[in-house]
Chain A
Amino acid sequence: MTLTLDPPRYELSDLDALEAEAIFIMREVAAELERPVLLFSGGKDSIVLLRLAEKAFRPGRFPFPIMHIDTGHNFSEAVEFRDRRVAELGERLIVGYVQDDIDAGRSREETGPRASRNRLQTTTLLRMIDEHGFDAAFGGARRDEEKARAKERVLSFRDDFGQWDPKNQRPELWSLYNGRIRKGEHIRAFPISNWTEMDVWQYIQREELEVPSIYFAHHRKVFRRDGMLLGVGPVTEPKDGEEVFEELVRYRTVGDMSCTGAVVSSAATIDEIITEVAATRITERGATRADDKFSEAAMEDRKREGYF
């Protein structure tokens, strides 16, 4: 009898390959920079970042604190989740409040029906980076979210004003990331740059990660503005002529309440969300973010100023 053996095929699945790449990036930043911080909003992308940090550094502690830039207009479910998740991990949480910058006159509240605190996050983020002397900030941004983000490097250099210069980015070759900076400058690091919305949900499913309840279908009082469904709340009050009705909805992104729309959905489990994401014909941001609709280059313009 002859025994034939298949040659071993050393291949990673798409999710395993993305996970391995992200872990490598996190360790690289932690090794090469002095004071990193991980940005966590309670949303699905940063939930994935926290799991990747566990994969990268356990059984040790995270070599960085976790930071949330709190606009004061967050979904209460997301804030509750944030505190619980960080406590479960036994890691440190720092919160930067947009309200503090408004009170101190460094930020001015926007007015009008499209007013949002989303842009104001930039001032608070840069202040916190400066106050704590952070030289790197991990974010859960993905290149598939938006066309300007598609252009950003995994390690994105920011000057001492926190600005991004899309025309002058460091070439990024192989997995040889250049994290060198001068004092005052910093790096934004995006370990899940190469992930899509679908990858994130499939990973959440595989890793059995908990997400805030607003990602699942629930009944909510909503009204329609600029083609989006906004939930009725203290910072999103309907104007005259905007009819309020109850709808079965869920959120695809967890952002500032003032500019994050809901989508009509009956998806009540992760499996159902994945089925829904596979079938949708509208992008995540197109469906739910008013702040990207101001102009063709809204995201690029905000990022140039230091937005995450």
Chain B
Amino acid sequence: MELLRFATAGSVDDGKSTLIGRLLHDSKSIFEDQLEAVERSSQQRGHDYVNLALLTDGLRAEREQGITIDVAYRYFATPQRKFIIADTPGHVQYTRNMVTGASTADLAIVLVDARKGLLEQSRRHAYIATLLGIPHLVVAINKMDLVEWDEVVFKDIASHFEGFAAGLHPHEVTFIPLSALEGDNVVDRSTNMAWYDGPTLLEHLETVEVASSFNHDKGRFPVQYVIRPLTAEHHDYRGYAGTVAGGVFRPGDEVVVLPSGRRSTVAGIDTLDGEVPEAFAPMSVTVRLADEIDISRGDMLVRADDPEPRVTQELDAMLCWFSEQPMHVGTKYAIKHTTRSAKAVVRELQHRVDIDSLQPETRASELDINDIGRVSIKVSAPLMVDPYSVNRLTGSFILIDEATNATVAAGMVL
């Protein structure tokens, strides 16, 4: 069975939690005891309806305030597919959690309130989804019940969005009018919007083509862990454990070890279940080489036939800033890229992105929390990078504040 990972985003009160609640409820993925608990809570809170948002807002503070604070992950399955939902918060102050949820998603649903149209947060989320290279974008125009199921409202928002998205270059955008509260076009087809002939949200999730999120062209294998048992039985065993980050590796392939540039041949690819004839992303395997060379965690095996990644200490990247402490040019951070860690310094802030206009602001001097900008970074050791648009695994990195150990930024190599 296929697995689809998707993230939901949108402004506060656009109804994300209600939409997820509705999706789970109408696809019969809610269990009786969960529904009873939600009914009980709804009653205690004095709601005159079953508040499906209570199903997903799992923290005390979220229930107190009726908002989603942190990303939560939900799971459900239909006969067609299994789904992992990253339910991400809408507040500007929690944008980092939207980035967290979106970084592993194959599809993003951006919710828009039909009454309010495209707000800054919807634009921000659509931008982030595109920046993170999510192949499929769904614009769910919610609360259609509150605009009398009006096709004109739907079409206006859709065309407004298309105008905005022209500057983003998303892979694919699908517009769906729905009412999460009433359940129209979430799982069941709406009888109130006969003018809409596209799929319901669930139909779209079940059928959208998902085979595109890994790179299968350029062989990349970051070495994660060296397995050297040194036991009587496996005295000479030396295996390089890791997860294929791109391309396909087979026994007999010539590989280059980066950054040293030494060459060898794949002698075998091991798993607990025996040797395998090939390994591709995102398989976790153990590679044995024909030659004994010095290889450690953080090195990368690259297929010699494929173009090599850039081995560099200078990067240009887009950065999403997460920390209350603004990013200043010249500050040192720890950087983690694939399995390699080093130190990094931001040498230049080329521009900050104005989320409204998507235009670069070249006079910005720092990145504040939730800002996105283009930077030049110098790294203390060479990294083996591909552009993020080519490979999400070898093109992404995080920055860590060495004093607090907090993850302060997500980076995408240009």
Contact = CB atoms under 8 A, between A and B. Distances in A.
A61 B32 contact: no
Contact of B241 (A56, A166, A283): A56
Contacts of A241: none
A59 B233 contact: yes
Nearest to A31: B225
B89 to A, nearest CB: 11
A20 B243 contact: yes
A198 B410 CA distance: 33
A57 interface: yes
Interface string B335-373: 011010000000000000000000000000000000000
A89 B286 CA distance: 20
B161 interface: no
A60 interface: yes
A61 B32 CA distance: 44
A146 B33 CA distance: 12
B398 A173 contact: yes
B72 interface: yes
Interface in A38-62: 54-61
A176 interface: yes
A38 to B, nearest CB: 15
A19 B224 CA distance: 16
Task: Indicate the member of A24, A151, A196 with the most B CB atoms within 10 Å.
Answer: A151
Nearest to A227: B33
B19 to A, nearest CB: 16
A248 interface: no
B216 interface: yes
A300 B1 contact: no
Contact of A55 (B56, B61, B97, B272): B272
Nearest to B392: A174
B405 to A, nearest CB: 4
Interface in A124-146: 143-144, 146
Contacts of B97: 171
Contacts of B405: 178, 180-182
B104 A174 contact: yes
A150 B55 CA distance: 11
B31 A54 contact: no
A76 interface: no
Interface in B16-39: 31-34, 37
B396 interface: yes
Interface stretch (A6-14, A107-115, A213-221): A6-14
Contacts of B376: none
B63 A196 contact: no
Interface in A267-301: 280-283, 286-287, 296-297, 300-301
A151 B59 contact: yes
Interface in B41-81: 41, 55-61, 63, 69-75, 77
Among B61, B104, B211, B407, max chain A CB count under 10 A is at B407
B33 A171 contact: no
A174 B388 CA distance: 12
B284 A59 contact: no
A121 interface: no
Contacts of A9: 211
Contacts of A151: 58-59, 70-72
Looking at chain A's contact residues, is the secondary structure mostly helix, strand, loop, or mixed?
Answer: loop
Interface in B69-123: 69-75, 77, 82, 84, 96-97, 99-100, 103-104
B171 interface: no
Given A59-B233, A167-B70, A194 B271 contact: no
B225 A30 contact: yes
B59 A10 contact: no
Contact of B281 (A10, A147, A194, A196): A10
Contacts of B327: none
A167 B31 contact: no
B322 interface: yes
A31 B243 CA distance: 14
Contact of A17 (B3, B233, B272): B3
A59 B392 CA distance: 31
B282 A55 contact: no
A57 B270 CA distance: 11
B196 to A, nearest CB: 31
B17 to A, nearest CB: 11
Given A166-B70, A282-B32, A28 B233 contact: no
Contact of B397 (A144, A166, A176): A176
Nearest to B40: A296
B328 interface: no
Contact of B336 (A12, A167, A178): A178
The 6 closest A-B pairs by CB, nearest first: A147-B58, A286-B33, A23-B284, A180-B405, A10-B280, A60-B229
Interface of A: 9-14, 16-21, 23-24, 27-28, 30-31, 54-61, 143-144, 146-148, 150-151, 166-167, 169-176, 178, 180-182, 193-194, 196, 198, 280-283, 286-287, 296-297, 300-301
Given A11-B2, A17-B282, 12 more contacts: A20-B243, A31-B297, A57-B225, A58-B272, A151-B72, A170-B407, A171-B97, A171-B410, A176-B396, A178-B407, A281-B32, A300-B60
Interface of B: 1-3, 31-34, 37, 41, 55-61, 63, 69-75, 77, 82, 84, 96-97, 99-100, 103-104, 211, 214, 216, 224-225, 227-229, 231, 233-234, 237, 241-243, 248, 271-272, 280-284, 297, 322, 334, 336-337, 339, 392-393, 396-398, 400, 405-407, 410
26 contacts: A11-B2, A12-B282, A18-B3, A24-B243, A24-B284, A30-B225, A31-B225, A31-B339, A59-B231, A60-B229, A61-B229, A144-B74, A144-B75, A146-B58, A147-B57, A150-B73, A151-B58, A166-B61, A166-B70, A171-B99, A171-B407, A175-B104, A176-B396, A180-B334, A180-B405, A196-B75
